[in-house]
Amino acid sequence: MKDYKLIAKTFAGLEDVLAKEVKRLGGKNVHRGKRAVFYEGDLEMIYRSNYYLRTALKVLKEIDHFQFKNVDQFYLKCKNIDWSKHLGLEDTFSIDSVVVNSRDFRNSMFTSLKVKDAIADYFREKQGKRPNVDTDNPDLIINVHIFQNTCTISLDSSGESLHKRGYRIKQGDAPLNEVLAAGMIMLAGWYGNSDFMDPMCGSGTIAIEAAMIAQNIPAAKFRKEFAFQNWNDYDQLLWDKITEPSEKREFRYTIYASDISAGNLLNAQTNARRALVFNKIKFAVADFKDLPIEMHNGTIITNPPYGERLKSENLDSLYQMIGERLKHHYCGNEAWIISSAKESMKYIGLKPTSKQELFNGALECNFNKYEIFEGKRS
């Protein structure tokens, strides 16, 4: 099978985790970029990337890479691509463009328009007709990335963002993206080797992703559609082989998920049932300050309110309570907390042993690690 140049997109801060995932899957010539990992692989690798990668948002297949001097030359180079390899007259397409530091292209809309014109003119000259644009449900999604005077044109193999796993139907007011949740768990180095807890679980995303990681359930097991299924070289037999049910990895520990809101917990339970991990998670309606769960040598990862989308009457006292609860009830465990409320995080009162910068949507967050021990650190 032919190897292609592939690009897996992710969030800032998760590039190294994604690069390790790609290497484990068998990607070749893997190197990290900004919010992306570049690698090589065949059609099977494209399918496997979409099905297994937990920290990828999109998987793109490069079809051309060129430099241009001006808009006219850009248009001609786009028109010179053999679009008939990828697109038929009856197919529809859409164009997704990103422009960074370009003198010639001020915005992505103008870029997309130029590529659309080039494709339309290519087909008119060759076949007298042109395929139609469909921004809602296209057969082919074309990704255009311009940096200064360099352009990369790729086919989007994923379609909808890969964080849409297919198991979440219920969510709270400030749901955590599934890719970010999985990335946080993997940054913490937890792969099912101890007990795990999220004491402010919301709609359950962190606990569910942990249960899927612990049992080696593929990230996209519950997803119905991928853009590559519309490609003219789609191989159904190969896809069937990749998605054949495999044995779950045995998980001997416990995942705890609790929340002060009964409504949130009901949503979390519903989502866990859809992800077929309900029996691996112990759920409880409880305020963290009263949570009776005992845990030793485990990992705690949580996403408390930031005071942005979720309003807390006194954010500082909430974070102080989190710190006191960790210190007095969860010694001997490791805790990881993500928050954009960086001033309030100081009220946790514990010294972080590591800090990682991550983004939850547009919010710049700290993802802090706390090793919780008795007495003072020696």
pLDDT digits (tens, 9 = 90+) for 191-244: 999 999 999 999 999 999 999 999 999 999 999 999 999 999 999 999 999 999
pLDDT value, residue 169: 80
Co-location of 182 and 115 in the same domain: no
**What are residue 300's phi and psi, to 5 degrees?**
-110, 125
Co-location of 125 and 212 in the same domain: no
pLDDT value, residue 59: 98
Asked if residues 28 and 3 have their Cβ atoms less than 8 Å apart, the reply is yes
Residue with tokens 């805790």: 335
Asked if residues 59 and 157 have their Cβ atoms less than 8 Å apart, the reply is yes
Q: Work out how many domains the chain is built from and give that number.
A: 2
Buried b (16+ CB within 10 A) or exposed e, 276-300: bbbebbebeeeebeebebebeebbb
Close Cβ partners of 219 (under 8 Å, ≥ 6 residues apart)? 51, 52, 53, 54, 162, 165, 182, 212
pLDDT value, residue 378: 47
Asked if residues 141 and 93 have their Cβ atoms less than 8 Å apart, the reply is yes
Interatomic CA distance for residues 25 and 90, integer angstroms: 35
- At position 222, the amino acid (one-letter code) is F
Domain of residue 108, residue span: 4-156
Co-location of 333 and 269 in the same domain: yes
Strand-by-strand arrangement of the 150-156 sheet = 28-32, 36-41, 4-9, 58-67, 150-156, 140-147, 92-100, 132-133
Structural domain includes residue 147: yes
Interatomic CA distance for residues 282 and 301, integer angstroms: 15
Does residue 10 sit in helix, strand or coil? Answer: coil
Co-location of 262 and 196 in the same domain: yes
CATH number, residue 133: 3.30.2130.30
**20-78 pLDDT tens trace:** 999 999 999 999 999 999 999 999 999 999 999 999 999 999 999 999 999 999 999 99
CATH number, residue 333: 3.40.50.150
Co-location of 92 and 203 in the same domain: no
